[in-house]
Amino acid sequence: MNELLVDGKSIEIVNPDKILWEDEGVTKKDYITYLLEVSPYLIQHTMERLLMIWMYPHGINSMKIEKRSVPEQAPIWVSSKFYKNKKRILLNDRATLIWAANYGALEFHVPFDRYDKPGYPLEIAFDLDPPDTDSFHLVLDVSIRLKQLLDSLGLLSVPRTSGSSGMQIFVPIQPIYTFEETRKINTFIAHYFAEQFPKQITLERTVSKRGNKLYFDYLQLWKGRTMPAVYSARAKPGATVATPLTWDEVEIGITPANFTILNMTKRIQEKGDLFKVITSAKQNQSLEEILRFIKKKEI
């Protein structure tokens, strides 16, 4: 695998046997194989969004380097776009994906809007972060309650593990609402949950002040902020992956550790792409009704 031909582009894979996830024995070759397998689904999420990669050149235990701009030594075919006088990476194709992995990228993060329509998110997202790894039951409970609320508003939602300790709930929307408008909705729902479940939920961003409560993060949905792309690996023990779920799985009970590089391809073969209503078969849902409701509450 020292040289790989991807969509007509020749990529020399440096140190293909380098161990990236030591405990799992996952090598760079294994990682690249995984990315090629999930690329049709991952790229649907990253398409035309300004990419941020988290690089770990020597595996997950090495130093993290964040990179947004195309490095000078990158091949000319790496997908990119000039944005605010900088040549920014766009993850629009498999060759760019494998180039980035070979460069050291273990995580792929994207904003909520496209570079060609900045300021208008394609989805709403709520980030549920437990106080510790033993409290994932809080995430499951709150996410089910959040689904019930979104259902009552007529909004389809998709749960997803973050690949780290928490879960994210995505709601596909028409890309006609500003970040300011979507922030109103996230703020309203977050404060409602904090008031309804004060013993379980906090809106405190400072980790040391959260105690044993779940952090209901409604602020991440904003200009320039990012979340891991779907099916992106995470630089965490276990080689975990940001994985879309069914609501039945959430009700039965899962943990982020259940979903890894080692079993994701089989999962997609069995269940299909559970994130497609956010990406390839996007549901452009209206927010007019809930925005009108919130406006009345503000009067």
Does pLDDT of 128 surpass 80? yes
This prediction's pTM = 0.96
Does pLDDT of 35 surpass 80? yes
Q: What is the pLDDT of residue 276?
A: 98
Q: Which CATH architecture has domain 3-111?
A: Alpha-Beta Complex (3.90)
Does pLDDT of 144 surpass 90? yes
- Asked if 15 and 28 touch (Cβ cutoff 8 Å), the reply is yes
One fold for 3-111 and 123-298: yes
Q: What is the pLDDT of residue 134?
A: 87
Cα angle value 170/118/150 (rounded, 5°): 20
Count of alpha carbons within 13 angstroms of residue 296, beta-carbon side: 5
Q: Look up residue 85 and give its two tokens.
A: 């006088």
- For the segment 238-267, what is each residue's pLDDT rounded down to a tens digit? 999 999 999 999 999 999 999 999 999 999
Q: What is the pLDDT of residue 296?
A: 85
**How large is the average pLDDT for residues 206-216?**
94
Query: In terms of DSSP bridges, do strands 105-111 and 52-55 run parallel, antiparallel, or are they unpaired?
Result: antiparallel
Q: Look up residue 50 and give its two tokens.
A: 């300004």
Q: What residue type is 104 in one-letter code?
A: G
Q: What residue type is 49 in one-letter code?
A: R
Q: Look up residue 218 and give its two tokens.
A: 């409604």
Does pLDDT of 1 surpass 70? no
Query: In terms of DSSP bridges, do strands 201-202 and 214-217 run parallel, antiparallel, or are they unpaired?
Result: parallel
The percentage of the chain sitting over the pLDDT mark of 70, rounded to a whole number, equals 99
3-state secondary structure string, 277-292?
A: CCCCCCCCECCHHHHH
- For the segment 153-173, what is each residue's pLDDT rounded down to a tens digit? 999 999 999 999 999 999 999
Distances (CA, A) of 78 to 46, 63, 94, 110, 212: 14, 24, 10, 17, 45
C-alpha–C-alpha distance, residues 119 and 122, integer Å:
10
C-alpha–C-alpha distance, residues 69 and 240, integer Å:
26
Q: What is the pLDDT of residue 298?
A: 76
- For the segment 84-112, what is each residue's pLDDT rounded down to a tens digit? 999 999 999 999 999 999 999 999 999 99
Domain limits of the chain? 3-111, 123-298
Does pLDDT of 137 surpass 70? yes
C-alpha–C-alpha distance, residues 1 and 60, integer Å:
22
Does pLDDT of 299 surpass 60? no
Dihedrals φ, ψ of 123, to 5°? -155, 160
- Asked if 218 and 93 touch (Cβ cutoff 8 Å), the reply is no
Specify the CATH class of 123-298 in words: alpha beta
